[in-house]
Structure formats: C-alpha cells, structure tokens
Amino acid sequence: MASSHVYKPAVPPAIFCTFLTELKYTISYDIQEYRQASGTISNLLYVLDRTEIYH
C-alpha cells in the first residue's frame, strides 16, 4: 500500500531559522575570539622568541 504521507518537519521553520541565525552569530563570535586568542599566543611566542635571542 503506497502511502502518500507528507512528512512534516518536527521543528517549525521559524524556530529553525532562529536557531540557524543564533548558530551563525555564535560561530562568528567564536571565530573572533579564536583570532584574538591566536593573536595573543603569537605575540607571546614572539616575545619569548625575542627574549631567547637576548639571553
């Protein structure tokens, strides 16, 4: 028996869109934080490198 049942998404589209938007902002925020952190780390490594040269 062929069922012509249309599967409806478990989550309403509006909630899904909101979730996607939130996720997008969270990811971009994480990337910014990661860039800042990696910048700080590279600065630290640079300073350590410089001090190694002087010692």
1-55: pLDDT as tens digits: 566 666 666 778 888 889 889 999 898 888 888 888 899 988 888 888 888 766 5
Position 5 scores a pLDDT of 65
Q: 11: which residues sit within 8 A by CB, 6+ positions away?
A: 19
Evaluate whether 9 touches 16 at the Cβ level (below 8 Å). Answer: yes
Position 34 scores a pLDDT of 87
Position 10 scores a pLDDT of 72
pTM, two decimal places: 0.46
CA distance 25 to 32: 11
At 25, list the tokens. Answer: 């902002």
Position 22 scores a pLDDT of 92
